[in-house]
């Protein structure tokens, strides 16, 4: 009975890992659609919303069934509670990827952002996908140190988001108000995606230590960057 119970917990964590890869792939393809003004690829990402909803429902049902039927305690209980929280973060991440794709589709066949901003959004997309993948791995491995490194990379995303407003507010901006608004919204989608990835990783520290504040447990590792 106990072996079966822990197998259920392992399957739940595996579901989260697969979902993190799904939302990473969705954001990766949404970013490609954004950079290449690819309306068909954008439609594919939007269509993945149905898959996202299905995996979310299955993961939530799995977690609630463990709570109802197994009465977990201590670390096992933290795993289940963290999983329920993680499902919400992953769902929001997938929805943000869909928002990026919807912006592409809305302006198609025109580009959503001008060429001058393309390198910035390529970098934001790279960071977002890396964070999603690493957050999933942190959850699976319960590696609090790996989880802690994500916050430094999230700082890079925050810098890109914050400095965008300097670019679009500059007197030489010649691309109009509509593109400025679109760029600001897209930047916000990426920034929020990264925030949810970090929130997902934070649950790892909660599972390992029982402490909800990872800064109380793991010293800051400044200067972390994507290889």
Ordered structural domains, the chain, with CATH: 2-216 (1.20.58.220)
Distance CA 33, CA 35 (A): 6
Token readout for 126 is: 């790279």
Do 140 and 181 meet the contact criterion of CB atoms below 8 Å apart? Answer: no
Average pLDDT over residues 180-187: 96
User: pLDDT tens digits, residue range 1-34?
Assistant: 455 777 888 888 899 999 999 999 999 999 999 9
pTM for the model: 0.87
Maximum mean pLDDT: which of 8-17, 163-172, 174-183 = 174-183
User: Confidence class of residue 210 from pLDDT cuts 50, 70 and 90?
Assistant: low
Distance CA 37, CA 22 (A): 22
pLDDT above 80 (res 110): yes
Lowest mean pLDDT among 38-52, 72-86, 197-211: 197-211
CB atoms within 10 A of CB 58: 13
pLDDT above 90 (res 73): no
pLDDT above 90 (res 75): no
What does pLDDT average to over the chain? Answer: 87
CB atoms within 10 A of CB 227: 4
pLDDT above 50 (res 217): no
For 4, 72, 100, 197, 207, the CA distances from 201, given in Å and listed in that order, are 26, 22, 23, 6, 10
The pLDDT value recorded for residue 57 is 94
pLDDT above 80 (res 71): no
Burial 68-85 (b: 16+ CB within 10 A, else e): eebebeeebbbbbbbbbb
């Amino acid at each position: 009975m106990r072996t079966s119970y822990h197998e259920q917990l392992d399957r739940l964590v595996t579901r989260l890992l697969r979902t993190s890869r799904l939302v990473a792939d969705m954001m990766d393809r949404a970013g490609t659609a954004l950079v290449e003004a690819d309306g068909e690829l954008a439609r594919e990402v939007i269509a993945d919303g149905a898959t996202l909803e299905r995996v979310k429902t299955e993961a939530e049902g799995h977690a609630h069934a463990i709570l109802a039927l197994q009465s977990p305690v201590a670390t096992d209980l933290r795993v289940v509670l963290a999983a329920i929280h993680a499902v919400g973060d992953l769902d929001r991440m997938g929805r943000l990827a869909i928002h990026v794709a919807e912006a592409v589709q809305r302006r198609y066949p025109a580009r959503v952002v001008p060429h001058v901003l393309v390198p910035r959004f390529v970098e934001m997309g790279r960071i977002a996908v890396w964070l999603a993948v690493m957050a999933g791995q942190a959850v699976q491995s319960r590696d609090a140190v790996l989880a802690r490194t994500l916050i430094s990379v999230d700082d890079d995303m925050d810098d890109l988001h914050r400095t965008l407003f300097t670019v679009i507010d500059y007197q030489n901006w010649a691309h109009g108000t509509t593109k400025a608004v679109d760029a600001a919204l897209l930047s916000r989608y990426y920034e929020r995606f990264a925030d949810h990835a970090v929130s997902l990783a934070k649950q790892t520290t909660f599972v390992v230590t029982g402490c909800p504040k990872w800064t109380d447990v793991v010293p800051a590792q400044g200067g972390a960057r994507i290889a």
